[in-house]
Every structure is written in structure tokens, then in C-alpha cells.
């Protein structure tokens, strides 16, 4: 069965977007960017909320390829063909290799888990991840913790009153002092 993963960059105080609406990090270093590109290669389908989908449209635009450096070209080559499912109540159409969700989150994930395709089911965006966490649908939490405190914004972890026990699967410290933490939900 396919695993559902939630992976984002996060400040040490737990935010994926700061109070200034800047995504954490604003510009990842080359080593971390390569790591994230390798991580996305394990993904078979990516579920996104509207805000993250709109942010990631940058990578779907062919006319930007001329300005991309080598690592950005590698990322775009992995991201563009990746199937994406967008959860939105305000969008009527999406671009690239994306489709609007036709079911609720639990039903979409149930269908995708049963699909014989390979690769993880990745969730992107705090609101969508919070809904998935509340429904106990996330199998792994993957955080790239950046050495910064931003003091507020959009939290990585949903704020709900439910304890979730985790098992540490992997850690890595990058030369930039970013720390990768990969936890599996203990079931």
C-alpha cells in the first residue's frame, strides 16, 4: 500500500510560512535543493491545496526554463510530469499535469492507496495536511528544520487535540545546518 507523506521546510519554531507570508526557506541552498529533488522522485502523486498549487505553478511554466540553473532544470524535469491533485473550492481549472479533486480528501487518498501505481502520495500545504492529520491519513512526517525563528505564521503541525506517537526513521544534518527529520506514525 502506498504511504502518505507530508514534507515541508519549517522554521525551528514550527512555521512553514512566516508572518510576512514568506515560505520557509525563501531560498534553499544547493545541497538541500538536491535532497528535495531526490525526495520528490519517490512521489507517485502530489496532493496540493490551492495556495501551494498556485505557488508551484512557477515550475510548470516552460518559458522560465531558459533562466533555470542546472539544479532548477532537474527539479522542473521531475515536478512537471508528476501527477498532481488540487483541492480547491475556488478554482474551476488547473494547469500542467494536475486535476481538481473530484472527491473529499479521505476518498481521494483511499482511491490512490488502492491504485497499483508506485510512489508515495505526498501532501503539500498546511491546511490540506491538517485535514489529513485530523483524519489520521498521514503515514510519515518529513521536516527540513531551518535554523531560524520567525515568531508566527502558518504552522507545520496542525493544531488539534490528538496525540500522535511517532518513530524516528531518519535524520540528516546539511552543511547549511538545516536538519532533516523523518518520522513514521506509530500504528
| 34-66 pLDDT per residue, tens | 999 999 999 999 999 998 999 899 888 765 667
Q: At a CB cut-off of 8 Å and minimum separation 6, what does 28 contact?
A: 9, 36, 144, 178
Question: Distance (Å, rounded) from C-alpha 32 to C-alpha 9?
Answer: 10
The yes-or-no verdict on residue 178 having pLDDT over 80 is yes
Per-residue pLDDT band at 186 (split at 50, 70, 90)? very high
Report yes or no: 149 and 23 within 8 Å, Cβ to Cβ. Answer: no
Domains in the chain, please, with CATH? 4-185 (3.40.430.10)
Predicted model pTM: 0.92
Residue for grid cell 480547491: 88
Average pLDDT over residues 66-84: 89
pLDDT confidence of residue 64:
63
pLDDT confidence of residue 3:
95
Pairing of strands 154-155, 140-146: unpaired
What's the start-to-end Cα distance of the chain, in Å? 15
Amino acid at each position: 500500500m502506498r504511504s502518505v507523506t507530508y514534507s515541508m521546510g519549517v522554521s525551528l519554531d514550527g512555521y512553514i510560512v512566516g508572518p510576512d507570508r514568506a515560505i520557509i526557506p525563501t531560498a534553499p541552498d544547493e545541497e538541500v535543493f538536491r535532497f528535495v529533488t531526490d525526495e520528490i522522485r519517490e512521489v507517485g502523486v502530489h496532493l496540493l491545496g490551492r495556495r501551494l498549487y498556485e505557488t508551484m505553478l512557477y515550475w510548470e511554466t516552460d518559458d522560465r526554463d531558459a533562466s533555470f540553473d542546472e539544479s532548477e532544470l532537474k527539479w522542473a524535469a521531475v515536478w512537471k510530469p508528476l501527477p498532481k491533485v488540487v483541492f480547491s473550492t475556488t478554482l474551476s481549472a488547473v494547469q500542467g499535469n494536475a486535476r481538481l479533486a473530484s472527491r473529499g480528501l479521505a476518498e481521494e487518498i483511499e482511491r490512490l492507496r488502492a491504485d497499483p501505481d508506485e510512489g508515495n502520495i505526498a501532501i503539500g500545504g498546511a491546511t490540506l495536511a491538517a485535514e489529513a492529520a485530523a483524519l489520521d491519513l498521514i503515514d510519515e512526517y518529513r521536516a527540513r528544520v531551518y535554523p531560524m525563528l520567525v515568531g508566527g505564521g502558518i504552522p507545520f503541525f496542525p493544531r488539534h487535540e490528538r496525540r500522535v506517537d511517532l518513530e524516528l526513521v531518519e535524520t540528516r544534518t546539511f552543511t547549511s545546518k538545516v536538519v532533516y527529520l523523518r518520522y513514521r506514525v506509530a500504528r
